[in-house]
A = this chain, B = another copy of it.
Amino acid sequence: MSNDTIGIGVIGYGYWGPNLVRNFATHPSVRLIGVSDLDSEKLATSKRLYPGVITTFCYDELLKNPAVDAVAIATPVHTHYELALSALKAGKHVLVEKPLAQNSDLARRLIDEAARRGLILSVDHTFVYTPAVRKIRELLLKKELGNVYYYDSTRASLGLFQSDVNVIWDLAVHDISIIHHILDEEPVAVSATGSCHVVGSPENMAHITLFFDSACVAHISVNWLSPIKVRQTFIGGSKKMIVYDDLEPTEKIKVYDKGITVDGRSDNAHQFRIGYRAGDMWAPHVSPKEALQVEVEHFIDCVRSGTRPISSGMSGLRVIEVLEAASRSIAEQGKPVLLKRQQYRSPQRATATV
Contacts and interface: CB of A to CB of B under 8 A. Distances in A.
A234 interface: yes
Please tell me how many copies of the chain the complex holds.
4
Nearest to A148: B197
A243 B227 CA distance: 8
Contacts of A1: none
Contacts of A350: none
A109 B341 CA distance: 49
Contact of A227 (B164, B219, B258, B262): B258
Given A163-B271, A205-B217, A336 B333 contact: yes
Which of the four size classes fits the interface of chain A? 35 or more
A228 B254 CA distance: 10
A197 B148 CA distance: 10
A274 to B, nearest CB: 4
A329 B262 CA distance: 28
A160 B272 contact: yes
A274 B334 contact: no
A105 interface: no
Interface in A38-90: 49, 51, 76, 78
Interface of A: 49, 51, 76, 78, 149-150, 152, 154, 156, 158, 160-164, 189, 191-193, 195-198, 201, 205, 207, 209, 211, 215, 217, 219, 221, 223, 225-229, 234, 236, 238, 241-243, 247, 249-251, 254, 256-260, 262, 269-274, 276, 278-285, 329, 332-336
